[in-house]
């Protein structure tokens, strides 16, 4: 079979890529229809203040409930959606859903929550992004200060000047901006200072076992100090243990997100946390 392409290429034949291709095609076409079939859901993971122990925000995380395959992880379909452009309608739907939810919780009288929504590079580069953001804020009547868009470092390293202009436009709407997975990309400290940002989210690879890993501990403390001097808030991602939490509190990190407090939840379950005023036990 592989010989059809000429004898020389015989050695390149591997069965796996063909299986992967088929799976990819399947995924790609399913992804295309999944929005119309309402197979996506938005989950919400609480963000908790490390002084008060109270829920101060949520991150919107998309989930795909496929009728046959079950729950598909965003790690499996977001990159493909990015590649094919499907991320544009999907990302916009997540944004609309999350803003609507934030407004609904505000209307129910819960303390106001900052809603973090992940933005893809495709969305950031969209010519009419600002108009779309304005339309969503208008439609949902959400006060823009309660929306925070999460970008990754890799999205801002290309064409820094253009990105700065983009982010300034977003911020002039009153929307906040955070850098997600901070520490895993190529951040030049030089431009970090120039970017209009509000929050650094410290990647969970630094947080994992931080109480036992002196290098990660030192890096995290350096990130927090740097963020402080740039007047940025810090959110630690992926906090799973009390020991990690204790270390972060002692290091004056501002907020946390992670399984230790809660995994991402369906909106009803998140609302139960708000009703029960669930609090993080801050180690004293």
223 binds, among ligand C2E, Mg ion, none (CB under 5 to 8 A by kind): none
Q: Assess 258 for contact with ligand C2E (CB under 6 A).
A: yes
Among positions 30, 118, 216, 257, the unique one binding Mg ion when judged by CB under 5 A = 118
Q: How far is the CB of 120 from Mg ion (least distance, A)?
A: 11
Q: Assess 86 for contact with ligand C2E (CB under 6 A).
A: no
Output 60 or 161, the one with its CB closest to ligand C2E.
60
Q: Assess 82 for contact with Mg ion (CB under 5 A).
A: no
Among positions 73, 107, 128, 268, the unique one binding ligand C2E when judged by CB under 6 A = 73
Among positions 240, 246, 265, 278, the unique one binding Mg ion when judged by CB under 5 A = 240
SS (HEC) of the chain:
CHHHHCHHHHHHCCHHHHHHHHHHHHHHHHHHHHCCCCCEEEEEEEEEECCCCCEEEEEEEEEEEECCCEEECHHHHHHHHHHHCCHHHHHHHHHHHHHHHHHHHHHCCCCCCEEEEECCHHHHCCCCHHHHHHHHHHHHCCCHHHEEEEEEHHHHHCCHHHHHHHHHHHHHCCCEEEEEEECCCCCCHHHHCCCCCCEEEECHHHHCCCCCCHHHHHHHHHHHHHHHHCCCEEEEECCCCHHHHHHHHHCCCCEEECCCCCCCECHHHHHHHHHCCCCCCCCC
Output 44 or 146, the one with its CB closest to ligand C2E.
44
Q: Assess 55 for contact with ligand C2E (CB under 6 A).
A: no
Among positions 39, 181, 198, 211, the unique one binding ligand C2E when judged by CB under 6 A = 181
- Interface positions with ligand C2E (CB under 6 A): 45, 61-62, 73-75, 78, 87, 91, 94, 118, 120, 150, 180-181, 204, 237-240, 257-259, 264
- Interface positions with Mg ion (CB under 5 A): 118, 150, 180-181, 208, 237, 240
């Amino acid at each position: 079979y592989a010989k059809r392409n000429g004898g020389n290429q015989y050695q390149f034949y591997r069965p796996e890529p063909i299986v992967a291709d088929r799976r990819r095609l399947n995924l790609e076409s399913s992804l295309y229809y999944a929005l119309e079939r309402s197979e996506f859901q938005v989950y919400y993971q609480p963000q908790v203040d490390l002084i008060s122990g109270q829920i101060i925000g949520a991150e919107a995380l998309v989930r795909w409930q496929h009728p046959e395959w079950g729950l598909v992880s965003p790690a499996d379909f977001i990159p493909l959606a990015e590649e094919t452009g499907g991320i544009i309608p999907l990302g916009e739907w997540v944004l609309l859903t999350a803003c609507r939810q934030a407004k609904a919780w505000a209307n129910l009288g819960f303390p106001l929550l900052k809603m973090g929504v992940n933005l893809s590079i495709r969305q950031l580069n969209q010519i009419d992004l600002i108009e779309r953001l304005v339309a969503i804020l208008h439609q949902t009547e959400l006060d823009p200060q309660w929306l925070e868009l999460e970008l990754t470092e890799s999205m801002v390293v290309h064409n820094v000047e253009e990105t700065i202009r983009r982010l300034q436009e977003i911020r002039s709407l009153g929307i906040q901006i955070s850098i997600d997975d901070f520490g895993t990309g190529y951040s030049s400290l030089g431009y970090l200072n120039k970017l209009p940002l509000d929050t650094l989210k410290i990647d969970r690879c630094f947080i994992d076992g931080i109480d036992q890993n002196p290098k990660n501990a030192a890096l995290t403390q350096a990130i927090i100090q740097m963020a402080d001097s740039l007047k940025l808030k810090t959110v630690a991602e992926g906090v799973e243990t009390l020991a990690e939490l204790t270390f972060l509190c002692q290091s004056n990190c501002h907020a946390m997100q992670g399984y230790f407090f809660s995994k991402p939840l369906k909106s009803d379950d998140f609302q139960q946390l708000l009703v029960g005023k669930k609090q993080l036990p801050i180690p004293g």
